[in-house]
A and B are shown apart, each in its own frame.
Chain A
Amino acid sequence: SQQGEEDPQALSIQEGENATMNCSYKTSINNLQWYRQNSGRGLVHLILIRSNEREKHSGRLRVTLDTSKKSSSLLITASRAADTASYFCATGGSGNTPLVFGKGTRLSVIA
């Protein structure tokens, strides 16, 4: 069953605006990851945040993690048309359990 649930399911913004996507999960985690999928392609890893971290940056990406609320957010600043894609969160549990992916957020950036 899905562990992470992204919100919103779809998001449409203008180029230059910021895009925020949220992920909620149910059980304790070791880490949380975000992936991007361009149409018709495989998923590409964006960023990993560990359970003892609260915020992480990578270029125009900012990820936060609130383990008390079991939630994470992905912020893409100054969005570009090339950021149009689906974004998935994936949670890594403790022990030897594989990543579990959410259903994704479809982001459309309009030029």
Chain B
Amino acid sequence: DQQVKQNSPSLSVQEGRISILNCDYTNSMFDYFLWYKKYPAEGPTFLISISSIKDKNEDGRFTVFLNKSAKHLSLHIVPSQPGDSAVYFCAAFSGSARQLTFGSGTQLTVLP
């Protein structure tokens, strides 16, 4: 059973609007959550992370929100740009296991 789930395989958003990517997890022992972005023919690249003791982390146009009671996190991109079009992976880090568990990814398409 998947411990990290991204239930939306794809999302389309108009340029300039907000993109909201969602992720759910089942293991309450995860210490950090990370978002990676992947372009075709490239490996995933780290985007932003959040500690399990925080509920928000912001970096420029990217903000990650964590709702521990709901075991849910989201990545907000505002304003969205065509260059943001990529697959976004949610990942959870367990300090005890020292490894990342990934979701299946969401393909974001930002329309000009």
A and B: bona fide binding partners: no
